[in-house]
Amino acid sequence: MSYHVCIAETDDAFEVGDDESILEAAIRANVNMAHECQFGGCGTCRIKLLEGSVRYDEFPMALTEEEHAEGYALACQARPNTDVVISAAAKGMEFAPAVVVDAKVKSIVPLTADIAHLTLQLSEQTPLDYRPGQYMNILLQDGSTRSFSMASASLPDNMLDFHIRRIEGGYFTGELLAAMQPQMPLSLEIPLGTFCYHEDDWRPLVMVATGTGLAPIKAILESLLDNDDCPPVSLYWGMRTEADLYLCQEIESWRERLYEFNFVPVLSRADAAWEGRRGHVQHAVVEDFDDLSEHAVYLCGSPDMITEAKSLFSGRGASLDYMYSDSFTFQKPVALVA
């Protein structure tokens, strides 16, 4: 038996078989839907059910019970129980299609003991329609990819920069990155993803990052520097130790350039000398905000943080319609994001 799926914004329609997810059927039917990891870990394929219902063989890690109750689903794991109508658009936003381009390594500079700043140079003939917050794929010779979020708001002189955390035992971050030299050629697929600033929300911003999840949030906030329409911004950044806070000075310099900017670093393994906030970053937010119903929330970093933050923040009144996330997953090589 098959079920009919219709995308409300585009009127695209396709059939989903009993053994298929919505995303698998869309790909088979050549219907474009945003996706990345395809195992329920990143949340890129998040959709909203307008009509009908779906089921899961195993409830996906990047979807909370609160989201499920409000009609959200992950297309890569959702299997229809009925004909369905879905909303797959990011509130009417349009994103340029990704293109494959050539680049060369410009530099690799350590930011901390396990985080590197990688800069790539694109060819001068490569104009990109890029939204701050998006990411790119590095295409490896074995056919796999590694995904990294751009860390700046613009691409001056066709330069891309990334914050990359070395993962113990990681093939790319542990082996290939260490062997990279200036002028080494790379093939990229760019830009990708729908994580970006939603200026039409007209809401104060609560930005929450763990680790190098700061990179796309940095790109978004840089795009708001000296912007008269910038809403109030609160940035919470979770790291383990003070030595890991590789961007604190630059962030502090934004205080006069962002409207009502509040920066709160939170350390989970702080030593006795640390005088700032301790614990987990999502807990610091709920300690500071009794009511998040009027805020737009941006979450980027570990899947565990994002999952708990969505639940906690919903309990403070945050609307899932104004909660945006980019989960940095490491479970499978093809879906590695850093």
Quick one: 112 and 54 in the same domain?
no
Which of 147, 168, 192 represents a domain boundary (last residue)? 192
Residue 93: inside a domain: no
DSSP secondary structure string, 144-188? -EEEEE--SSS-GGGEEEEEEEPPTT-IIIIIIHHH--TT-EEEE
Quick one: 141 and 238 in the same domain?
no
Structural Rg of the chain based on CA atoms: 20
The pLDDT assigned to 242 comes to: 97
Rounded Cα–Cα distance for residues 58 and 77 (Å): 8
The pLDDT assigned to 251 comes to: 97
- Cα 301 versus chain centre, distance: 7
Quick one: 206 and 331 in the same domain?
yes
Quick one: 173 and 233 in the same domain?
no
Residue 174: inside a domain: yes
Which of 192, 212, 238 represents a domain boundary (last residue)? 192
The pLDDT assigned to 35 comes to: 78
Residue 92: inside a domain: no
Going residue by residue through the chain, which has 338 residues, state the pLDDT in tens, using 9 for 90 and above.
Answer: 899 999 988 888 999 998 899 999 999 999 888 777 788 877 788 899 999 999 999 998 888 888 898 899 999 999 999 999 998 756 667 788 889 999 999 999 999 999 999 999 998 777 788 999 999 999 998 888 888 999 999 888 889 999 999 888 788 887 888 889 999 999 999 998 889 999 999 999 999 999 999 999 999 999 999 999 999 999 999 999 999 999 999 999 999 999 999 999 999 999 999 999 999 999 999 999 999 999 999 999 998 999 999 999 999 999 988 999 988 764 343 333 34
Domain with 34, as residue range(s), is: 2-87
The pTM of this model reads 0.87
Quick one: 173 and 46 in the same domain?
no
The pLDDT assigned to 20 comes to: 93
Residue 94: inside a domain: no
Which of 43, 60, 87 represents a domain boundary (last residue)? 87
The pLDDT assigned to 337 comes to: 39
Quick one: 70 and 38 in the same domain?
yes
**Residues listed for the chain:** 338
Quick one: 131 and 62 in the same domain?
no
**CATH of residue 285:** 3.40.50.80
Number of domains in the chain: 3
β-strand partners of 2 = 17
The pLDDT assigned to 338 comes to: 40
Quick one: 213 and 312 in the same domain?
yes
